[in-house]
Amino acid sequence: MAYVSIYLNFMGNAEEAFNHYKKVFRTEFSTPIMRMKDIPPREGVPALPESEQNKVMHVALPILGGTQIMATDMLESMGHKLVEGNNFTISLNPDSKEEVDRLYKELSEGGADAVAPHDEFWGYWGTCKDRFGIRWMFNVMNQPA
């Protein structure tokens, strides 16, 4: 079933923030926290420094009314800088790659900072900033084997 979530970026304290939110909303993480060290090695991509290995790659927490917040830690080694405006993204999780492609095409038109949807180890993913400055993320998760 398709759903929308709010994706938050942190500069190294996503786990601390989400442990706080877990207490506030009295819920549990939707899945175990994924760490940066859990990313499979890719040819041509350098290994992360030891100091970033345990940073949060992905965490998800249900809050109110079926809404879920998700997060990642931005990485200094990759040149990430947290500034107001890039600390959140609206994450769309439609039911098909075709719907991702349609949404991406329409939302990225006239926008910037886009990564076209493509296959990743967790699923089909892409992102863009629309012409109004809003950041969007698109995901269709891989189905369990």
The answer to whether residue 44 is domain-embedded is no
Mean pLDDT taken over the chain: 87
The answer to whether residue 41 is domain-embedded is no
Q: Which residues pair with 115 in a beta bridge?
A: 127
On the question of pLDDT at 39 being above 80, the answer is yes
Q: Span 70-91, mean pLDDT?
A: 79
- Would you state the pLDDT for residue 98? 96
Burial class (CB in 10 A: 0-12, 13-18, 19+), 40: exposed
The answer to whether residue 73 is domain-embedded is yes
What is the 3-state secondary structure of 16-39? HHHHHHHHHHCCCCCCCCEEHHHC
Half-sphere exposure of 96 (CA within 13 A, CB side): 3
- Would you state the pLDDT for residue 97? 96
Domain containing 57: what range?
A: 3-36+52-141
User: Quick check: helix, strand or coil at residue 94?
Assistant: coil
The answer to whether residue 67 is domain-embedded is yes
Q: Span 19-41, mean pLDDT?
A: 90
> pTM, whole model, 2 decimals?
0.70
- Would you state the pLDDT for residue 81? 76
- Would you state the pLDDT for residue 86? 67
On the question of pLDDT at 87 being above 80, the answer is no
The answer to whether residue 42 is domain-embedded is no
On the question of pLDDT at 91 being above 70, the answer is yes
Count of domains observed in the chain: 1
On the question of pLDDT at 43 being above 70, the answer is yes
- Would you state the pLDDT for residue 29? 96
The answer to whether residue 46 is domain-embedded is no
Spatial distance between the Cα atoms of 15 and 58, rounded to a whole number of angstroms: 10
Q: What is the CATH number of the domain that holds 109?
A: 3.10.180.10
- Would you state the pLDDT for residue 126? 97
The answer to whether residue 57 is domain-embedded is yes
